[in-house]
């Protein structure tokens, strides 16, 4: 552990109570995608209380804070929305209590990914008190709609609000390791058409569900043939949901729609994945379509995007990967594992679409995300806050390499 790391950890421990309070307050406010307003207001209040240079809502509803005004621009992002809770009876603790028990905080969002928002904020506060580097601009973003459409919030922030960082640090759970990529994904539909008749004379019609049966079998077999990558893992395809239209329960369905979750590994693209669907042996005259996202945010801003999210990887020797790893080592006195997520993140926009170097670092176990057992260790909140406070200083040592990308502004 370095002297700076030791000082950062000591400072973070003095803020443990405040970090816990802020996280529990956020958990207590339900905030599924498009309904984040009240939780966003709570984050805005905390950012302002911590004394950051600028705090505002952007047009989409993201909460943004700025610290400093230097040439190296760093964005630390955590999404503020969460998935629903499902059956409340399945939870050990009230999902919106933020229960503190046994050194852990429980609840929806206690992993995915409210801890990062709290820890990034207090990391910035600790760095301010230690002496904020004159050559750094640090942006904090608590972003919306990620669970609905990963990356759109960052795409809006960067392309429409003009905040273009040189590097991005994501707050999806990594268990205090450093992650540098993940598979891409897309959402598609396959629709079959039939002819509806009374079920008592079903042979007179064409059953759209029966036309789907062979297609579902084709998809199951396709999954076994998809590409494999040693780092990101295998491409996958899953039939995730089916619905049909029918005049009644006593009639032959005249249409059926199958929803597809497709995970894309290295070398796979949305075009090749769509071509694979169109080439399924039983596809016949079925219609294949890429889903579209078209909603209105909690602030009234329309958001539109195709539901395709690119694969991305950052090289292990990239100065961003190495700089964040050095910050972790400085605080935790052990080098982090360099790995990748199984799921998707806002990195599909920052790195996947825009090519801005991106990594992830945060407390929490990835496998607890979206489960009824979400919890995060209080000690990891303290340690993560200390690391976030050291990251800008470590990245500053790589300033020339990080700013020689044409990004930032």
Q: What residue segments make up the domains of the chain, in order of their start?
A: 3-182+311-403, 184-296
CATH of span 184-296: 3.30.70.360
pTM of the model: 0.94
Res. 314: pLDDT tops 70? yes
The full DSSP string for 183-196 is -EEEEEEEEEE-B-
Give which of 176, 175, 161 is closest to 368, Cα–Cα.
175
3-state secondary structure of 228: strand
Instruction: Give the whole-angstrom CA distance, residue 107 versus residue 94.
Output: 7
Closest by CA to 10, choosing from 331, 326, 336, is 331
Peptide bond into 113 cis (omega under 30): yes
Q: What are phi and psi of 18, to 5 degrees?
A: -70, -40
Mean pLDDT, rounded, for 48-68: 98
pLDDT band at 404 (very low <50, low <70, confident <90, very high): confident
CA-CA distances (angstroms) from residue 124 to 121, 211, 358, 387, 398? 5, 57, 19, 10, 19
Residue 225 confidence (pLDDT) above 90: yes
Q: Which residues are catalytic?
A: 81, 146
Q: Give pLDDT, residue 259.
A: 98
Strand partners, 75: 139, 168
Tell me the percentage of the chain whose pLDDT exceeds 90: 98
What is the chain's length? 409
Give the CB-side neighbour count of residue 409, counting CA atoms within 13 A: 10
Contact (Cβ atoms closer than 8 angstroms) between residue 149 and residue 293: yes
Burial class (CB in 10 A: 0-12, 13-18, 19+), 292: exposed
The string of pLDDT tens digits covering residues 90-146 is 999 999 999 999 999 999 999 999 999 999 999 999 999 999 999 999 999 999 999
Instruction: Report whether pLDDT(328) > 80.
Output: yes
Closest to 23 measured CA to CA, from 97, 85, 76:
97
What pLDDT does residue 405 have?
A: 57
Q: What DSSP designation does 336 have?
A: P
85 within 8 A of 91, measured Cβ to Cβ:
yes
Distance from C-alpha of 247 to C-alpha of 210, rounded to nearest angstrom: 17
Q: Are 95 and 159 in contact (CB under 8 A)?
A: no
Neighbour tally for 335: CB within 10 Å: 12
Which pLDDT belongs to residue 408? 54
In this predicted structure, what is the pLDDT of residue 409?
47
Sign (positive or negative) of CA dihedral 320, 326, 331, 334:
positive
408 CB-contact burial (10 Å; exposed 0-12 / middle 13-18 / buried 19+): middle
- The residues near 287 (Cβ < 8 Å, ≥ 6 apart) are 189, 190, 191, 192, 193
Give alpha helix (H) positions in 189-343: 208-223, 270-278, 319-332
Is residue 406's pLDDT more than 90? no
Q: What is the pLDDT of residues 16-50, one digit of tens each?
A: 999 999 999 999 999 999 999 999 999 999 999 99
Fold of 3-182+311-403: Aminopeptidase (3.40.630)
Among 33-42, 361-370, 374-383, 399-408, name the one with the lowest average pLDDT: 399-408
Q: List the beta bridge partners of residue 198.
A: 251
């Amino acid at each position: 552990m370095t002297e700076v790391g030791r000082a950062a950890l000591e400072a973070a421990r003095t803020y443990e109570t405040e970090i816990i309070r802020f996280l529990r307050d956020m958990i207590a406010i339900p905030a599924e995608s498009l309904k984040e307003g009240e939780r966003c207001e709570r984050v805005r209040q905390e950012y302002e209380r911590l004394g950051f240079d600028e705090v505002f809502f952007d047009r989409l509803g993201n909460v943004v804070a700025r610290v400093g005004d230097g040439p190296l621009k760093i964005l630390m992002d955590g999404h503020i929305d969460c998935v629903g809770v499902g059956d409340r009876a399945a939870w050990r603790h009230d999902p919106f209590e933020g229960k503190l028990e046994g050194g852990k905080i429980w609840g929806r969002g206690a992993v995915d990914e409210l801890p990062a928002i709290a820890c990034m904020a207090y990391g910035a506060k600790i760095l301010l008190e230690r002496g904020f580097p004159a050559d750094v601009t640090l942006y904090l973003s608590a972003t919306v709609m990620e669970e609905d459409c990963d990356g759109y919030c960052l795409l809006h922030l960067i392309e429409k609000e003009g905040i273009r960082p040189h590097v991005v640090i994501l707050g999806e759970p990594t268990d205090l390791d450093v992650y540098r990529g993940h598979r891409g994904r897309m959402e598609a539909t396959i629709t079959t058409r039939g002819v509806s008749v009374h079920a008592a004379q079903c042979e007179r019609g064409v059953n759209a569900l029966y036309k789907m049966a062979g297609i579902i079998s084709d998809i199951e077999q396709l999954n076994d043939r998809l590409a494999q990558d040693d780092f990101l893992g295998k491409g996958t395809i899953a039939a995730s949901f089916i619905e049909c239209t029918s005049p009644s329960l006593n009639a032959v369905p005249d249409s059926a729609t199958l929803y597809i979750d497709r995970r894309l590994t290295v070398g796979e693209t949305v075009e090749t994945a769509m071509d694979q669907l169109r080439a399924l042996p039983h596809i016949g005259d079925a219609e294949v379509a890429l889903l579209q996202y078209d909603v209105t945010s909690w602030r009234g801003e329309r958001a539109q995007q195709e539901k395709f999210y690119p694969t991305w990887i950052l090289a292990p020797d990239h100065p961003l990967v190495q700089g964040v790893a050095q910050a972790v080592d400085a605080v935790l006195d052990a080098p982090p594992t360099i790995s990748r997520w199984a799921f998707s993140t806002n990195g599909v926009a920052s790195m996947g679409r825009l090519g801005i170097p991106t990594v992830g670092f945060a407390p929490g176990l990835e496998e607890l995300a979206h489960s009824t057992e979400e919890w995060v260790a209080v000690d990891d909140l303290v340690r993560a806050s200390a690391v976030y406070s050291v990251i800008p200083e470590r990245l500053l040592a790589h300033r020339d390499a990080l700013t020689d990308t044409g990004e930032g502004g």
